[in-house]
Amino acid sequence: MFRGVARSGGALVLVIMALVGAFLAYRALLALRKAGPSFLTTQEWNPDSGAFGIAAVIVGTILIALVAIVVATVLAVGVALYISEFAPRWLRGFLIASVDLMAAVPSVVFGLWGAFFLQWEVLGLSRWISDWFGWIPIFRVHGATRHDPLATETVYTSSTFIAGLVVALMVAPIACSVMREAFSQAPPGEREGAYALGATRWGMIGSVVLPFGKGAIIGGTMLGLGRALGETIAVVMIISPVFVIQPRILENGTSSVSSLIATHYGESSPFALSALFAAGLALFVMTLIVNFIAASIVARSRSGAVSEV
């Protein structure tokens, strides 16, 4: 009975995913027939004039998600390790509840906070990164003068970097919960064995806890990446949409597939709506690829499969 229920549940998930993909493909067929392969290479978005594609919004989506996942992974691993290894027992329950509660905060709240508070507080950081690391192409900002305290700060607002920071704070609690659960289940015998061999606490963490939780770190990171790729409202409230490939993450202007759909859905003609479904299909496929890669990586690095003790 259990085997039948488990198989039925797995099959139902696959059927629902297939139906969603088929629905998106059917609604996108009109636009894809007209655009052809240029849909993947065109940066402009003007479906009613016949010039439209997802090159710019896909690049923006990937860059925002990468900034978010880099920041979120560092935060999630640090918080998970503190809760499982360092926090006093009386504080641990409060911290776990607080992290879980952050995951329930609506994205519109994060968007408001990011647009009206965070981005104005991190402009100094954006300027500092641009001043000292502007020789790296992704940190270069056109229109910014190096080490000029009177230079305008508007070139740094509504950027990929700021949107990525906000999304990072949204996905970090999810990744942290997955990692913390795995870290807390590291075998006590291996912990004690590491101490018996003379390891410090950090040595024990590096040789027992982190190897045991490697699968959870990868899984939590990829789970957060999947959430970051599809984040909509918070990104819409922060970014300034541009339909050109914008690889400079500190500079004003970017875009994403989800924000494109959210901002153009209500005013689109039937053909433009088909083009939006095509963009949604591309995001759907990209998210599936990320999740399949994550599943294969986790399958090869199960938590607890490897230990250095």
| pLDDT tens-digit readout, 73-124 | 999 999 999 999 999 988 998 999 999 888 888 889 999 999 999 999 998 8
Is residue 5 included in any domain, yes or no? Answer: no
Structure confidence at residue 307 as a pLDDT band (50, 70, 90) = very low
Do residues 104 and 197 touch, judged by C-beta distance below 8 A?
Answer: no
Please say if the pLDDT value at position 284 is more than 70. Answer: yes
Q: Which of 27-41, 69-83, 134-148, 206-220 has the lowest mean pLDDT?
A: 134-148
Alpha carbon distance, N-terminus to C-terminus of the chain:
40
Do residues 303 and 228 touch, judged by C-beta distance below 8 A?
Answer: no
Is residue 18 included in any domain, yes or no? Answer: no
Please say if the pLDDT value at position 309 is more than 70. Answer: no
Please say if the pLDDT value at position 62 is more than 90. Answer: yes
Please say if the pLDDT value at position 306 is more than 50. Answer: no
Q: Say how many C-beta atoms besides its own lie within 10 A of residue 19's C-beta.
A: 10
In terms of residue numbers, what domain contains 182?
51-303
Residue 37 to residue 56: CA distance in whole angstroms: 15
Is residue 157 included in any domain, yes or no? Answer: yes
Instruction: Report how many domains make up the chain.
Output: 1
Please say if the pLDDT value at position 136 is more than 50. Answer: yes
Q: pLDDT digits over 228-281, tens only?
A: 888 888 899 999 888 889 899 999 889 999 999 988 888 888 999 999 999 999
Site of tokens 């905060």:
105
Token couple for 299 = 């399958």
What does the mean pLDDT of the chain come to?
A: 88
CATH of the domain at 231: 1.10.3720.10
- pTM confidence score: 0.89
Is residue 239 included in any domain, yes or no? Answer: yes
Is residue 10 included in any domain, yes or no? Answer: no
**Following DSSP, what letter does each residue of 110-132 receive, concatenated?**
HHHHIIIIIHHHSHHHHHHHHHH
What pLDDT score was predicted for residue 150? 62
Structure confidence at residue 291 as a pLDDT band (50, 70, 90) = confident
